[in-house]
Structure 1
């Protein structure tokens, strides 16, 4: 996460992610003109989302824009603007079903307390699962993060809301107090989550890998194992501090 996003995460780590605003819920049953979506309207919205996913799955050098999506969906721009105000709003709609799979993909791995004897195995399993989630949704997640790094407020909030459940579960794994978001254990969770995101960003960035001239699967494995080791040590260290009462 960016420095600004890290700060926002620290400020909101003790809170549950906010529920979807009522205006956003309304867009699922109405278009932006307030017209209720019948079957044709829902089909059109689905076509727009499908076209966006098709472009995301295509060549990386093809620019993703509202006009490109409209062409892919065989729609005019006016029709597209009936459903989405801008590219951010469209991408957030595409992200919604993707993030709905996060629980099964990697978040759920943290919900059962990891025993001390197998912390290393559990840590590696989480890092590997998170990396796999990024591999599957790489271009979309990279695009979200680039937009967040460019100070797109809505993408920053999405990025943070996606990280918060993992950070809170990390705090619980470290025997931390969730009611104290300004505590050192929350800072450790923020650092661990930031490192995890950066590692998968590097290991799934095809442009960066091509710039290095030789994508190195072994190098990626070493990086993932290194991140897993840091996660293991962080959890183990804070468990010891909690047990000692410090």
Structure 2
């Protein structure tokens, strides 16, 4: 599994607005939709072709349990275009999967990130944490195949996928630091390290428990997921409570 904390130390994570000041995903998406890779402006037909390619990749991911079977040649066949035409829109598989991920990641805020924005009172820490980890796991369940493909590509050394994986965790890590009554997230502090450890553990649980091969091995009369999410919520509660105590002014 990729080391979220290590790469988080390389990627800028703070700014006045809390945003990463590179070209935004929305800006990149608008540029991608506006032009093909030859720089030609896309008309309606070009946009339809691009959308058809993305839809074919989405269909493949929905139909196969082995995301590794998704190939550009098969996507082109399903989209009823030549492979050369596909390369006018996507330079490689990474670019295509990033396009598939775009609408998925756009739902993060509504699905689980907003749950960390509101301060969790001490008396409600466990319940708030449990609601959050359940929502995060639900997000993973709904989109597990494309997220597993992203992570497997990142684990094989695809830096664009590794960056995507880390960047998707940073907003919650930053908000967790705020929950701990600390300053805005800075690299290398005990609080930021705690936030990194919490999100790394939660992602690992979601990754393992949405892996069909692993869940078949863990086929038991009682589904262990409820216990795991309860345990994750407890870890969040204890970590936040502990950091709040340490971060209180003397």
TM-score by length of 1: 0.93
Task: Name the residue aligned to 2:5.
Answer: 6
Aligned residues: 243
RMSD of aligned alpha carbons? 1.8
User: Shift of the alpha carbon at 1:209?
Assistant: 1.2
Q: 1:180: Cα distance to partner? A: 3.0
1:109-188 equivalent positions in 2, closer than 5 A: 109-178=115-184, 180-188=186-194
Offset at residue 111 of structure 1 (A): 0.5
Tell me whether 1:51 sits opposite 2:56 in the alignment.
Answer: yes
Whether 2:107 is the aligned partner of 1:108: answer no
Answer yes or no: is 1:210 the counterpart of 2:216. Answer: yes
* Aligned-pair CA distance for 1:104: 0.1
Structure 2 unaligned regions, length at least 5: none
Query: TM-score under structure 2 normalisation?
Result: 0.92
Q: Which of 83, 86, 91 matches 2:89?
A: 83
- Equivalent residue of 1:235, what SS? helix
Cα distance per residue 1:119-152 (max 9 Å; x no partner):
0000000000000000000000011011111110
In 2, distance between residues paired with 1:217 and 1:36? 55
Q: Which structure 1 residue ranges, 5 or more long, are not aligned? A: none
- 2:174/2:185 contact within 8 Å kept: no
Q: Cα offset for 1:232?
A: 0.7
Question: Does the C-alpha gap of structure 1 residues 218 and 153 become closer, same or farther in structure 2, counting only changes over 3 Å?
Answer: same
- Correspondence for 1:42 among 32, 47, 56: 47
Moved more, 150-159 or 53-62: 53-62
Which residue is equivalent to 2:197? 191
Supply the distance in 1 between the matched residues of 2:63 and 2:187 (Cα, whole angstroms). 41
